[in-house]
Amino acid sequence: MQDERIIALFFERNEQAIKEATDSYGGFLKAVSCGILHSDEDASECLSDTMMKAWQTIPPQKPNNLKAYLGRIIRNLSLDVYDKRQAQKRGSGAVCVQLDELCECIPSSENVTGSLENKELSQAISDFLIKQKKKQRILFVQRYWYMLSIKEIADKNKMSESAVKMSLKRTRNSLKNKLSDSIGKEW
């Protein structure tokens, strides 16, 4: 079923919208959540929570891209579950590593507030990624959106782990320079 029809079902408050959205995007959404949580059970719960959140927010929201809209919801919910889980056990986690890697590229919230709105920051990152070679863009998204490990990325792209690390480091450095230029100062 096409996105427009599924969104229309949400606007009609027809529960079939949840079934159609799950049928269309459930596999993708669960993969996003599993990449963060590494738990099929938690990912299934996040999928259910995502559909509930979509039910609560459509309407008034009318997403242009339903897959991206649902993907953002499940990613945020999964990160929240991850944070709660880490707060409880205070262990080391893979997600922390990936987010720490990006911290070196993105200015502190005070600098962002003073220089760019969050929306502008997101747009700057999107503009940056569009200009990257396809391979670098794929690696970056696999690492920082899908939260795949370096080994998983290397296996999927038939590369060595060191090549993946180097490519990601170069892309992060380029992103840092791009954001620094956009903001007009170093951090």
Percent of the chain surpassing pLDDT 90: 55
Contacts (Cβ under 8 Å, ≥6 apart) of 94: 38, 147, 149
> What does the block give as tokens for 9?
């079902």
Q: Read out DSSP for 12-70?
A: TT-THHHHHHHHHHHHHHHHHHHHHH--HHHHHHHHHHHHHHHHHHTTT---S-HHHHH
Structure tokens at 35: 């990449």
Fold equal for 3-89 and 94-183: no
Name the DSSP letter for residue 125: H
What pTM does this model have? 0.68
Contacts of 126 (CB under 8 A, 6+ apart): none
% of the chain exceeding 70 in pLDDT: 79
- Indicate the length of the chain as a whole number: 187
- The three-class DSSP label of residue 74 is helix
pLDDT digits (tens, 9 = 90+) for 13-58: 999 999 999 999 999 999 999 988 889 999 999 999 999 999 999 9
pLDDT, residue 187, reads 42
Output the six-digit token pair for 111: 């600098």
Residue 186 has pLDDT above 50, yes or no: no
pLDDT recorded at residue 176:
87
pLDDT tens, position by position, 124-169: 888 889 999 999 999 998 888 888 889 999 999 999 999 999 999 9
Q: What is the DSSP letter of 108?
A: P
CATH number of 94-183: 1.10.10.10
- Rounded to whole angstroms, the Cα distance separating 6 from 1 reads 7
Place of tokens 């229309």: 8
The domain 3-89 having CATH identifier 1.10.1740.10: the answer here is yes
Where exactly are the structural domains of the chain? 3-89, 94-183
